[in-house]
Amino acid sequence: MTNEKPYRPNVGIALFNADGRVLVGHRFKGDGPEVILPGLDWQMPQGGVDEGENLRDAAMRELWEETSVVSADYLGETDWLTYEFPPYDGPQTHRLAKFRGQRQKWFALRFTGKDDEIDPLTPRNGQPAEFDAWRWERLDRVADIVVPFRREVYRAVAEQFAPFAN
Residue spans per domain, the chain: 5-162
Pairing of β 72-84 and β 131-137: unpaired
pLDDT one-digit tens code per residue, 74-108:
999 999 999 999 887 777 887 788 899 999 999 99
Q: If you average pLDDT over residues 2-21, what whole number do you get? A: 93
- The pTM (predicted TM-score) of the whole model is 0.93
Q: Side-chain half-sphere of 80: how many Cα atoms within 13 Å?
A: 9
Please report the pLDDT score of residue 13 as a whole number.
98
Q: Is the pLDDT of residue 72 over 90?
A: yes
**Region 5-162: CATH code:** 3.90.79.10
Q: Which amino acid is at 148?
A: P
Please report the pLDDT score of residue 95 as a whole number.
74
* Residue 114 CB partners (closer than 8 Å, separation 6+): none
pLDDT one-digit tens code per residue, 124-137:
999 889 999 999 99
